[in-house]
Amino acid sequence: MSKIKAGDIVKVMAGGQKGKDGKVVKVKDGKVYIEKVNLKTRHIRPSQLNPRGGKKDIHVGIDISNVVLLVDGKPAKVGFKTTDGKKVRVVRKTGKEIK
């Protein structure tokens, strides 16, 4: 179980995108893909589906160690707790469950 999941709001703490925050689109192979953060342009070759070709913006992953989860607008460390046989994420400082 990952400490950061798709749909979470995170803030970038290191790298070229430092200080930006946004919603996580997906988490894959230790990388976090954040909505409207770290976009790169790819040139698309003409094809039958797209006869003109063109440019397309794609999300580029940021290492999961360079982001922090925001809970109520504040950075939070994430821990785990077992309740009723289910493993849930909690804020370490307050013990509040993260939904």
State pLDDT tens for residues 27-80: 999 999 999 999 999 999 999 999 999 999 999 999 999 999 999 999 999 999
pLDDT band at 99; cut points 50, 70, 90: confident
30 belongs to a structural domain:
yes
37 belongs to a structural domain:
yes
Q: Are the beta carbons of 55 and 39 closer than 8 angstroms?
A: no
This prediction's pTM: 0.87
Domain that holds residue 63: 9-73
47 belongs to a structural domain:
yes
93 belongs to a structural domain:
no
Quick one: which of 34, 39, 38 has its CA closest to 16?
38
pLDDT band at 2; cut points 50, 70, 90: confident
18 belongs to a structural domain:
yes
Q: Report the number of distinct structural domains present in the chain.
A: 1
96 belongs to a structural domain:
no
Distances (CA, A) of 22 to 35, 52, 54, 64, 99: 6, 32, 27, 14, 17
